[in-house]
Structure 1
């Protein structure tokens, strides 16, 4: 078992273990500090809503399956809300429908949501939890490597607007994060790559040991390796979140490659997945930073080598103009400036603020 404690505004544990899904009820009960009814020996009048999508629901969300049984045996009154998967559902319409569902089921401030799925499910559930009755507790049960490595930890929640990605949201920390290594068995190679991209990002930012570990692997079939990789990446995020929870300073370093990744996702109408777009974004930023002399040590060759090792598709199909135009709605734009994350050397990145007028030339250097 791997257990990482996050000391943010709400303190919580991130627990990774094989078979942990069968113990979800117990872990949720303990995390929320709930007590059994002295007569029945079970929880009393405590609702939990599993929020999931149409892809994950048949795998783990049904009444006759492990998660539901664990919650029911613990004494929770279990409800479920399912929405279509994909970025097209990560919007205010889904949030409104979920909030109306909770109201119809008479959820109160003492009840809880449980996000069962990838990053989109986690973002939607967290945002709903932050806004329903001005805030109720929620649990993250990520089912993808990408979600456990990155989005399930740190308290960023939100949805997309037509203008761009994650433009509506809230900071709302979970009460617990649980990840079962058996989830890895259902993930395709490409979906695992999404998580690897975020792990590589964490290594470039602050932990070269991650990159050393990845360099020794040529396949992604070893669950112990992936669990260890996830724990190292979570530790990087934990330290940054504890230092700058509200994303006003050092937490921005976690956005390495993300300004361009979000632009790539938007240009592709979200046909290019987040992790694959992050890999493209990191490649562009690394090459441009080297060519402009912004790095202390040239990084692009090392970064390209590790991305190519796992056969990431790295050729960006969009022009510098298209990417710069798509990035104009990025959250990191303040006034006429945008803050980029650039590598100084492997294991050390820094923030570089430039005029938005210089973004297109910067991208051109990296393409």
Structure 2
């Protein structure tokens, strides 16, 4: 069992990582007047024994709200439903929301906590590899709008994150790949040791493998978020591959899995970095080969014209011009005049993305 104690801004967060982590966590220390569990319906069903243990530990003063799995549930109507159930149940400011499921549930539950009674505490129990290595850490919460992904949200830190790695045993291959894509991202932008570990162990799926990449991913992400919680500059590096990836997800109406979209995003954005002179071609090839081995993104072709509107609405864009994170080598990112975001004209996007398409990666 690994514990990490983090202080981000004025908020303290305990992160527990390991098999049977829920069993070892004391919920009594939260001093809650009651608990509201926002649970992914599929996770609740497939992880019945873990969920049952959670319910037993939380006691009688408990509300369980089930929501559907997937990005289509990540909307303001779902948040309103949660808040209204809590209001009708007379939940006060000492109530604690607990998310149980993947990143979608975590985003919804965290956003609900950030606005109910102008903020109450919340705890993440992420049950997917993606949520454990990425979305449960850092305090980003939010929902989608028809116009794009994560356009409404807040930055609000959880009180605790409980990562029970035994939950990963039931995950399908695509869900594992979703998380590994984000772990590769951390390796490319700042942790070359993690990247090398993934290169050497790309096909491993044992408990020690998962524990290592989860711990290293959390440590790296926390090191960034502590320095730039509100995403004014440094934290933007965590968006490598995501400008393109989120646009691909939204344009496909979320039929393309997150991991595959982010893997594609890193391939295309990495190639832009090669063209603009910051990323060595050989490092781009190493990154691309690892993504292909783990995430198999090659059966999706990117068509820039269908993505332009999503680029314009991306939070990193300025005056409608998309900006991207460029690696400088494996384990490092490039800065331009002190900034980590690089503007790319539309004609260059069209031209270089077509070059990558023609490579038939």
**Preserved CA contact (<8 Å) 2:179 2:259:** yes
Q: Which residue of 2 aligns with 1:17?
A: 18
- Retained in 1: the 8 A contact 2:93–2:117? yes
Q: Distance in 2 between matches of 1:29 and 1:97?
A: 27
Q: Distance in 1 between matches of 2:62 and 2:204?
A: 35
Q: In structure 2, how many angstroms separate the alpha carbons of the residues matched to 1:313 and 1:80?
A: 37
- Aligned partners of 1:139 and 1:174 also within 8 Å: yes
The answer to whether structure 1 residue 357 and structure 2 residue 346 are counterparts is: yes
Contact 1:280 1:315 in 2 (8 A): no
Aligned twin of 1:40: none
Q: How does 1:78-93 map to 2 (within 5 A)?
A: 78-93=62-77
Say whether the 8 Å CA contact 2:124–2:158 is kept in structure 1: yes
Q: Does 1:6 align with 2:1?
A: no
Contact 2:311/2:320, CA 8 A, preserved across alignment: no
Task: State the shift of 1:129 in Å.
Answer: 0.1
Counterpart residue number, 1:69 = 56
Q: Which consecutive residues of structure 2, in runs of 5 or more, have no partner in the other structure?
A: 335-339
TM-score (norm 1): 0.90
Is this contact kept in 1: 2:74–2:143, CA < 8 A? yes
Supply the distance in 2 between the matched residues of 1:91 and 1:289 (Cα, whole angstroms).
34
Residue of structure 1 in register with 2:274 after alignment: 290
* Residues 98-177 of structure 1 aligned to structure 2 (within 5 Å): 98-177=82-161
Aligned to 2:261: 277
Give 1:178-257 correspondences, 5 Å limit: 178-257=162-241
Aligned with 2:291 (options 300, 307, 319): 307
Cα distance 1:50–1:220, how it changes in 2: closer, same or farther (>3 A)? Answer: farther
Instruction: Please state how far the C-alpha of 1:68 moved relative to its aligned partner.
Output: 0.5
How many angstroms apart in 1 are the aligned matches of 2:345 and 2:114?
Answer: 32
| Match runs of 1:311-350 below 5 Å | 311-350=295-334
Taking structure 1 as reference, are residues 365 and 6 closer, same or farther at Cα in structure 2, changes over 3 Å only? Answer: farther
Aligned-pair RMSD on alpha carbons?
1.9
The alpha carbon displacement at 1:311 in A equals: 4.8
* Aligned-residue offset at 1:62: 8.1
Verify the 8 A CA contact 1:324 1:360 in the aligned structure 2: no
The answer to which of 288-297 and 141-150 deviates more is 288-297
Q: 1:362 to 1:331 in 2, by over 3 A?
A: farther
